[in-house]
Structure 1
Amino acid sequence: MVATEPVETPTQQAEAAAEAQGTDDEPEQTEQECRGWIAVRSRYMNFDLIAVSFTATVYKLDGDAATQVVQETVDYTAIATNGLFVSRRRVARPVPVDGALEGAPEPAPTIISQAQIPAVAAASGKPLVMLGGDEGFEPGQFRVTLRPTVRHGKLRVHPAITASEDAARAGRYRIIGTDGVVPAELTDTNTTDEYLQVPDTTTVETDWSEDILVPCMPRNMPKTVDFRWTDFRTWDGVSSRRIRTLHPTTRHIFFAFINKIEENYRLTYRVAQAYRTFAEQDALYAQGRTTPGNIVTGAVGGRSNHNYGAAVDIYDVIAGGAIDWSGATYPDAVEVGDAFDLDWGGRWTTIVDRPHFEYLTGMTTRQLLAEYNAGNTFTYDGRTYVNF
């Protein structure tokens, strides 16, 4: 076997130069190669902790030519538990041995990037991923192309439009094109509505790109590209149609909920129940009491969050289209539901309802019913919803 010398990073080259000079001091007249790094943040709009899995391809641009230089896949298997993607890290000072001082003054905080390499990010759930490894990139123009792992109906969106930007469309969200361009002139077709919703006929895209300039900077100061997402479809047309009956405030959350279960755990959950009318709720309440069947609910019409479009019942569809009624995968669904701040019926102590997940409206169903009876409602997609 022929021995080969390991490839040195720029830092290792500088250390070798210092050793050649016969000193532990910083090498004199030795310049490290100028490099830069790229950090990709992929997450749901309004849920900064919930990362979206992806494959990123980085191209070096030279005029009209684009040469692929790296490709990384980040398949998340966890959801982050905190949002400290950038920390203000202080350098510790030693306490004097004689104990004369309680402590020494600390220097001003320094911003340190907390981007993680792809494998670590996937396991930790952190949405900020470092690309470039130890070597980094030669400074210049690059194109970063992201392909989300689950993309049944995804949009890349920009933070909400303010009244000073466009009073008529305040609260809506710009839809960023697949070329990374944020629309300057706003229309109803290049923005979502205020609920992050778009028509079901919206084109389903596959890849989103953005051209960036990567400067010569330390690894802890990468060029960051931010991809924020919203979902408008799931793997299943039945589920998508049912989610579209829910209160508009909750729809993008339940779309993302079903898709994130699939993304993290490769489970295909179907929405069995979503919005219910008061009459449908009364009929369900009668089951096992005055009509045949088992008792499945303790709520009469107007006393279930289903009646206000704020809840779904789901089940796992397995190979061949069969339904897994064992509940073996509910812990995975619950982990995702907790991240989206959904309440799980499996934790209830009266009638335990394991398929049930509901949006926390901030009101009891008694209060929601009072708001409904008082007319504090609005119409959306032909249905009447309570304001919450």
Structure 2
Amino acid sequence: MLYFTSVVNQLLSFVLPLQFEKMDFRIAALGLQLSFFSAGALFSRVLLLNLIREENMKKFAAFGLGLMAVACSGFLLFTEAIPAMLCRILQGTAFGIASSAVPSVAMRFIETPEKSVGLIGIASIMASLTGPYLALEIVKRSPENGFRLVCLLAVLAAMAGFLLCMWIPAAENGENAVEKQKKGLPGKTAVYLFFTASFLILCNCYMALLTVFADSEGKLKEVVIFLVASSLSSILIRTCLKEVMKTQRRLHGLLFFGAVLYCAAMLWVGKTPGRSSFLAGGTAVGFFSGIMMSCAHLDILRLDDKDSAHANTLFYCIQDIANILCGVLWALAASWLGYGMSFVWSGVGILVICGAYILFRKKVVLRK
């Protein structure tokens, strides 16, 4: 169910920029479609913050998946930019509902918070691994009808998730692994969330610009290398999450090492895009984001004084805010600096922010 929720978005995210470009709506292709999607998701999550609870999250999950199927059907009907953008907003709204509720449903059946966060991440990464690859292959093999076929596949995936959600029984015990181990993490939450959003904005440079950048360089076919490398390295690091987070010193060391790798890889991608740089860039993105997102998710689950449904919704709200800013900022950066320099600044920014984040976490968040 987690996989189907994520794969619907992944199928469309990397082909929609190309479709909007064909509609002569180039500014949307540069990232604003991501911002509109995230705005819809954020709107629904903010509403859910005071509504979603352990006892009703299965209903919200089913409703979100069903609405997602309806939104994806709209892409089959509309061929103009404005109606298609409205469908993108509706898809974001549906995704916000489903992706807030589905992880909380899953957490009720998993023993520990580290394992639950790891499995949630792996499900999302598997969607990232298969969704864009299938979508780009379909578009490549059928340039005229490929986008419609991708939309149809997204509708089927959403319906599969909906049916699976209806089949899964509600857990009798309302308490899950996270609530059992909630300890409360001291620290200034607002500053911590600022760092999380900053990481997401910088890391998501590739989501906003990669397909259009690669297409402009005649390297569109090689985007798959980046995506596969990113997914595999992130799956590997999340599989070893318990060992990675065994001590805070090890966690911080791997975080900074990942930031250095990310910076070097983005410099390479920005200067000389190609197979080798895309392989290095994807590996670095997957390694760093796998650790960073897992650490952020676990800390927010412990910071929040309500149940995991509320904490998950808050965590995804942060992602949506970051994605809204990401789409706008990287569209502007690409216009002012060019694609290559945008990737360079993404890498430099990650290195600087990561150093500040580790210092903050040592001095404030982990201080007893």
Larger Rg: 1
Task: Tell me the TM-score normalised to structure 2 length.
Answer: 0.27
Task: Tell me the TM-score normalised to structure 1 length.
Answer: 0.26
Comparing both structures, which one devotes a greater share of its residues to helix? Answer: 2
Comparing both structures, which one devotes a greater share of its residues to strand? Answer: 1
